[in-house]
């Protein structure tokens, strides 16, 4: 029978499927999504890396495709299921909201009816009162009644009956459970006020409000004793009111017991009223105290339940930690200790509440039954046999029965309370346990993923640190080996070295002088000796001549030796300097390269980041375009602007990188050239000047390019403001890209102030302008008209093309089942719409 078939709606309909089950289902759907995602990823990896080289590859790829495709289908299905669940949840919320709205409306409607009836009732009451007065006057006048008078009396009776009927109706309303407030409010404005104040009462009066009779009495008493104001808002007021009423009720019970005793003959009239005042007072006070205690208990119970609910979460978490084997033993023990503490605290609180309730009940019983409290306690707590106990304490059978009933009631109330709390707690624990079980199931996977992430982070961190360390080491090494700083400060060294060389030269000269003086002194000595020893004048002259010749020869030799030595020293110094300079030059060059490479890496990273941003931005634009097509709010303009900014930034970075690369290359060329020349023993001055000459243009470019890269300009000098580097005539040195165009000054002069953009526009667009003036040649006019006509036609076609590109193009197909399928192509994307047959004449979309 189709009607008996259980449908999905039956299972997932409002209120039919418990929230817990829905949550479980949701968890299952989510688990499915996660599992299938993993499966897709695994198979994706296999499919991507498969080379299709042999039969095994083919089989593996086939398997990955089949399994992966199944997983994609399952994931999409689960996602649809999840969407359905979300939709159902929204629908449930909506239904609840609607039902609440309906209830509010119904209440308002009823209130209006009651108000209306109330006002009619008052009118009728007034009318009855007037008529009754008139009837009374008529009857007291003791005269013959006219027909009119009789009519008045009959009408009054009818009216009286009518009102009684209404009263009866109201009485029925009072017995209508759950509608006391509206029923009372219809009685009189006074009751209305009281019932309004009920809504502001606390827990104590809410119990009271469930008893309509008591509420009615309460309202009357309250109105008489001016308690209404006290009862209006606070819970305290409500408690004391309820206490007053309990006191009155207790006093009435005492009275009733005594009266019953008198009537049944078990109590004399004298005894019945002896000490009645005290007993009444005691019972009244006990009632008030009892209600106060109950109120305190109620607050304590509420606090206990809330705390218990909070504790349930804490306990679950601590339990989870205690079970977690990845935690340290110390942590797990701590968690268990905390858990035990919470449970002990709960037990203590339960005991405390229980005791307080017990005491309250004991007090009340003692007061109302006129038995001592301690006797009662002994009775309840005694383990002795009831009969003996009864005799020993002079209890009557009725008293024992009453006590047992009362005790049983108290016990039941306590048991109920703790049972309910236990159940609620067990429910919470069960839910929490399911949660925990789920968590434990996914725990391994999550933990593994987290662990992997951490390891990967750790690896990256280590790698970064090792790279930094390496770089730092290299830099330190280079600096200590005479890197860029030694290179920079080597001028001082050269100066010092120069001074040392000068000193050496001076010392050599002094040495030479001393040797020369020694030679002269030796020659003089020899001359004196020869003069003294040789008598023959000719012989003496010949010997002195010989001595002097020898001296001249010796001085000449000495000078030659000194000159050679100086030359050698100079050469050595020069060679040393060149070697030192060369090595320093190389170190400096390496250092500069290193730095520039790092800068380049950073720039590349920035470009990559911009690329990512641009690709994300493009996706955003696509999304915004979609929104714009749907007519929704969008931020297309903003996204486009951002894209333009990011592309510009990327271009700038690329330009900078290009400039830097060129500058680096040029500087490198110069330094290489200088170095190679120094290695060929060419003196530094010559080497530097030659290298400079060879790379002059390059050097000029490198210094210039750093701030003067331009891309398309109408006037070079304007763009190179502040970076002028004249080269020859009036020329500026600029860098150009391979795909740029250069025109000569003559051509540029002809173009005048036309901007490049304008130049392109004029070159590319056809000239629409017609010759103006009066003497328009007919043929030219016709030809121009024809041209205009053609241009117009082209424009039209272009516009059509644009429309085709921007507007959806539809085509229709009719299937055998009578369905119409519309295919819509919009911006290259095809959409299909199916229209089902609804009636003979119409179609349902």
> Closer CB to another protein, residue 782 or residue 825?
825
Look-up: residue for tokens 């750790």? 458
> Closer CB to another protein, residue 49 or residue 793?
49
**Spatial CB neighbours of 653, under 8 Å, sequence gap ≥ 6:** 603, 606, 607, 610
Q: Evaluate the CA torsion angle 90, 95, 101, 104 in order and state its sign.
A: negative
* CA 538 remoteness from chain centre: 123
- Is 299:355 a contact under the CB 8 Å cutoff? no
Point out which span in 63-71, 603-611, 658-666, 754-762 binds another protein (CB under 8 A).
63-71
**Spatial CB neighbours of 225, under 8 Å, sequence gap ≥ 6:** none
Cα–Cα distance measured from residue 250 to residue 280, given in angstroms and rounded to the nearest whole number: 8
Cα–Cα distance measured from residue 71 to residue 77, given in angstroms and rounded to the nearest whole number: 10
Cα–Cα distance measured from residue 580 to residue 490, given in angstroms and rounded to the nearest whole number: 9
The yes or no reply on residue 630 touching another protein (CB under 8 A) is no
The yes or no reply on residue 64 touching another protein (CB under 8 A) is yes
Cα–Cα distance measured from residue 486 to residue 585, given in angstroms and rounded to the nearest whole number: 10
Closest CA to 714 of 760, 741, 750, 753: 753
- List 7, 54, 632, 775, residue binding another protein (CB under 8 A): 54
The yes or no reply on residue 65 touching another protein (CB under 8 A) is yes
How many Cβ atoms from other residues are within 10 Å of residue 18's Cβ?
9
- List 71, 353, 362, 687, residue binding another protein (CB under 8 A): 71
Cα–Cα distance measured from residue 701 to residue 664, given in angstroms and rounded to the nearest whole number: 11
> Closer CB to another protein, residue 52 or residue 329?
52
The yes or no reply on residue 47 touching another protein (CB under 8 A) is yes
Point out which span in 21-29, 40-48, 141-149, 228-236 binds another protein (CB under 8 A).
40-48
> Closer CB to another protein, residue 44 or residue 424?
44
The yes or no reply on residue 632 touching another protein (CB under 8 A) is no
> Closer CB to another protein, residue 34 or residue 203?
34
The yes or no reply on residue 30 touching another protein (CB under 8 A) is no
Q: How many CA atoms lie within 13 A of 88 on its CB side?
A: 21
The yes or no reply on residue 61 touching another protein (CB under 8 A) is yes
**Residue 39 CB, nearest approach to another protein (Å):** 10
> Closer CB to another protein, residue 64 or residue 219?
64
> Closer CB to another protein, residue 76 or residue 637?
76
Cα–Cα distance measured from residue 399 to residue 712, given in angstroms and rounded to the nearest whole number: 115
**Residue 619 CB, nearest approach to another protein (Å):** 9
> Closer CB to another protein, residue 359 or residue 623?
623
By CB under 8 A, how many residues form the interface with another protein? 29
Take residue 588 and report the two structure tokens written for it. Answer: 């400096």
C-alpha dist (Å) from residue 482 to 231, 390, 459, 610, 688: 95, 113, 34, 39, 21
- List 9, 19, 21, 69, residue binding another protein (CB under 8 A): 69
- List 23, 31, 35, 50, residue binding another protein (CB under 8 A): 50
- Is 821:815 a contact under the CB 8 Å cutoff? yes
Closest CA to 71 of 98, 101, 37: 37
> Closer CB to another protein, residue 729 or residue 832?
832
The yes or no reply on residue 830 touching another protein (CB under 8 A) is yes
- Is 332:321 a contact under the CB 8 Å cutoff? yes
**Residue 50 CB, nearest approach to another protein (Å):** 7
- φ, ψ of residue 275 to 5 degrees: the values are 65, 15
Checking DSSP bridges between strand 843-844 and strand 829-837, what pairing results, if any? antiparallel
Say which DSSP state 753 is in: T
The yes or no reply on residue 617 touching another protein (CB under 8 A) is no
- Is 686:699 a contact under the CB 8 Å cutoff? no
- List 40, 367, 376, 678, residue binding another protein (CB under 8 A): 40
DSSP 667-703: HHHHHHHHHHHHHTT--HHHHHHHHHHHTHHHHHHHH
The yes or no reply on residue 805 touching another protein (CB under 8 A) is no
- List 1, 6, 779, 829, residue binding another protein (CB under 8 A): 829
The yes or no reply on residue 48 touching another protein (CB under 8 A) is yes
- List 29, 32, 68, 376, residue binding another protein (CB under 8 A): 68
What is the x/- site pattern for another protein, positions 76-105, by CB under 8 A? x--x--------------------------
- List 3, 4, 18, 52, residue binding another protein (CB under 8 A): 52
The yes or no reply on residue 72 touching another protein (CB under 8 A) is yes
How many Cβ atoms from other residues are within 10 Å of residue 257's Cβ?
17
Q: Which residues pair with 810 in a beta bridge?
A: 824
Q: Which residues pair with 823 in a beta bridge?
A: 811, 832
Point out which span in 59-67, 219-227, 346-354, 466-474 binds another protein (CB under 8 A).
59-67
**Residue 57 CB, nearest approach to another protein (Å):** 8
- List 59, 168, 496, 498, residue binding another protein (CB under 8 A): 59
**Residue 614 CB, nearest approach to another protein (Å):** 18
Cα–Cα distance measured from residue 213 to residue 678, given in angstroms and rounded to the nearest whole number: 120
- List 24, 28, 58, 347, residue binding another protein (CB under 8 A): 58
Which residues within the stretch 341-400 sit at the binding site for another protein (CB under 8 A)? Answer: none
* Contact residues for another protein, defined by CB under 8 A: 36-37, 40-41, 43-44, 47-48, 50, 52-56, 58-59, 61-62, 64-65, 68-69, 71-72, 75-76, 79, 829-830
């Amino acid at each position: 029978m189709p009607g008996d078939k259980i449908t999905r709606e039956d299972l997932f309909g409002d209120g039919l499927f418990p929230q817990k089950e829905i949550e479980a289902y949701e968890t299952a759907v989510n688990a499915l999504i996660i599992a299938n995602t993993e499966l897709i990823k695994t198979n994706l990896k296999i499919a991507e890396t498969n080379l299709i080289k042999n039969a095994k590859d083919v089989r593996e790829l086939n398997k990955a495709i089949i399994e992966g495709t199944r997983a994609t289908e399952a994931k999409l299905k689960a996602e649809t299921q999840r969407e359905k669940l979300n939709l159902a949840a929204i629908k449930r919320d909506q239904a609840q909201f609607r039902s609440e709205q309906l209830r509010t409306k119904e209440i308002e409607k009823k209130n209006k009816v009651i108000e209306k009836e109330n006002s009619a009732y008052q009118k009728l009451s007034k009318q009855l009162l007037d008529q009754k007065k008139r009837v009374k006057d008529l009857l007291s006048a003791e005269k013959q009644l006219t027909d009119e008078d009789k009519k008045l009396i009959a009408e009054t009776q009818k009216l009286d009956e009518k009102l009684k009927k209404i009263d009866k109706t109201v009485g029925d309303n009072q017995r209508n459970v759950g509608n006391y407030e509206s029923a009372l409010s219809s009685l009189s404005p006074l009751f209305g006020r009281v019932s309004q104040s009920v809504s502001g009462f606390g827990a104590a009066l809410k119990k009271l409000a469930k008893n309509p009779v008591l509420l009615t009495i309460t309202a009357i008493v309250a109105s008489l004793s001016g308690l209404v104001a006290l009862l209006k808002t606070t819970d305290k007021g409500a408690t004391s009111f309820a206490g007053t009423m309990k006191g009155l009720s207790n006093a009435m019970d005492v009275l009733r017991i005594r009266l019953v005793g008198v009537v049944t003959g078990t109590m004399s009239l004298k005894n019945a009223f002896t000490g009645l005042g005290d007993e009444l007072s005691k019972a009244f006070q006990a009632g008030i105290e009892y209600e106060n205690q109950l109120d305190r208990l109620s607050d304590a119970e509420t606090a206990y339940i809330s705390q218990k609910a909070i504790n349930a979460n804490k306990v679950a978490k601590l339990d989870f930690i205690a079970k977690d084997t990845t935690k340290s033993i110390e942590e797990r023990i701590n968690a268990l200790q905390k858990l035990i503490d919470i449970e002990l605290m709960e037990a203590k609180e339960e005991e405390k509440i229980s005791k307080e309730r017990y005491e309250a009940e004991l007090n009340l019983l003692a007061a109302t039954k006129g038995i001592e409290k301690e006797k009662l306690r002994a009775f309840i707590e005694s383990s002795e046999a009831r009969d003996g106990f009864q005799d020993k304490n002079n209890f009557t059978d009725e008293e024992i029965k009453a006590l047992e009933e009362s005790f049983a009631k108290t016990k039941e109330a306590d048991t109920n309370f703790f049972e309910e709390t236990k159940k609620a707690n067990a429910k919470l624990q069960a839910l929490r346990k399911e949660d925990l079980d789920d968590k434990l199931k996914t725990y391994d996977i999550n933990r593994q993923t987290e662990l992997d992430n951490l390891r990967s982070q750790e690896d990256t961190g280590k790698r970064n640190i090792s790279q930094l360390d390496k770089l730092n080491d290299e830099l330190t090494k280079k600096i200590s080996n005479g890197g860029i700083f030694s290179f920079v400060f080597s001028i001082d060294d050269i100066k010092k070295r120069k001074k040392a060389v000068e000193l050496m030269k001076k010392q050599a000269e002094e040495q030479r002088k001393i040797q020369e003086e020694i030679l002269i002194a030796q020659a003089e000595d020899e001359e004196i000796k020869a003069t003294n020893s040789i008598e023959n004048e000719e012989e003496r002259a010949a010997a002195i001549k010989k001595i002097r010749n020898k001296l001249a020869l010796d001085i000449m030799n000495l000078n030659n030796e000194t000159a050679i030595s100086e030359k050698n020293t100079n050469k050595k110094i020069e060679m040393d300097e060149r070697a030192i300079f060369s090595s320093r030059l190389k170190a400096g060059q390496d250092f500069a390269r290193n730095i520039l490479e790092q800068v380049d890496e950073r720039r590349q990273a920035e470009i990559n980041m911009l690329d990512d941003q641009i690709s994300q931005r493009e996706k955003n634009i696509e999304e915004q375009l979609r929104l714009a097509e749907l007519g929704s709010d969008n931020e297309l303009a903003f996204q486009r602007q951002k894209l333009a900014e990011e592309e510009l930034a990327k271009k700038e970075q690329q330009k900078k990188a290009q400039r830097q690369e060129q500058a680096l290359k040029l500087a490198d060329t110069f330094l290489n050239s200088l170095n190679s020349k120094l290695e060929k023993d060419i003196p530094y001055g010559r080497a530097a000047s030659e290298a400079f000459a060879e790379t002059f243009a390059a050097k000029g470019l490198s210094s210039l390019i750093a701030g003067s890269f331009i891309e398309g300009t109408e006037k070079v000098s304007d763009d190179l403001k502040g970076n002028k580097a004249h080269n020859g005539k009036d020329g500026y040195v600029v860098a150009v890209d391979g795909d740029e165009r250069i025109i000569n000054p003559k051509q540029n002069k002809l173009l005048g102030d036309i901007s490049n953009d304008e130049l392109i526009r004029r070159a590319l667009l056809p000239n629409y302008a017609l010759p103006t003036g009066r003497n328009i040649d007919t043929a030219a006019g016709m030809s121009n008209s024809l041209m205009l006509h053609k241009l117009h036609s082209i424009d039209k076609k272009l516009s059509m093309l644009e429309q085709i590109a921007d507007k959806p193009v539809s085509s229709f197909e009719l299937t055998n089942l009578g369905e119409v399928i519309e295919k819509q192509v919009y911006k290259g994307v095809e959409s299909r719409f199916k229209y089902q047959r609804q009636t003979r004449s119409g179609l349902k979309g």
